[in-house]
Amino acid sequence: MKILLVVMPGYKWSLEPKVIPTGGNPDYGIFSKGRVEIPILKGYDLDGGSVLADGSTPADFYWNVEQLTKVPRGELYAHNGAKFATTILAQTVLQQSRSMLYSTQTQQTYSDNSIATDSSTPIKAGIVIAYQTSDGRYGAFKVDKLGTGTALTLSIT
């Protein structure tokens, strides 16, 4: 398959993760990757690579920010059967070979518990979290930017 890329004047690049077909072992293939910005009260479908309305299907998680005190509280909720690893991964895990990354991801313990900015293992810029999507695919994302008053920016593999 060949892809022709045409750039139009004034066109903005879409950084949404895209499905990337890979040959070889399907267990180690990369289904999607990229950088995405998720606005407050929006969900994200890791399998389909799209931002969705809060709570809609097939979103794997959604991002919420509450202003209950002087400090806003951001929380990333697992949704529709998706799960997050219960431990934070080292950033170097993202440089592993596909087979090593897959092995690391499948050895994690997953939970549908949310991850908040004020939890014992808080979501913050720079952390890497493994996940399992509602379709059963494994992946990881790095939190690039965490704006409790704005969007959550992730690099996803």
pTM assigned to the model: 0.75
Q: Report pLDDT for 119.
A: 81
SS3 95: helix
> pLDDT per residue over 24-66, tens digit each?
344 455 666 788 888 888 989 988 888 888 667 788 998 888 8
Contact present, 94 and 128 (Cβ < 8 Å): yes
CA proximity to 42, closest of 63, 17, 73 = 63
Q: Report pLDDT for 74.
A: 87
Q: Report pLDDT for 97.
A: 85
CA proximity to 125, closest of 114, 141, 109, 105 = 141
Please give the Cα distance from 74 to 64 (Å, whole number). Answer: 6
- In the chain, where are the structural domains located? 24-156
Counting as low any pLDDT under 50, the low residues of the chain are: 1-27
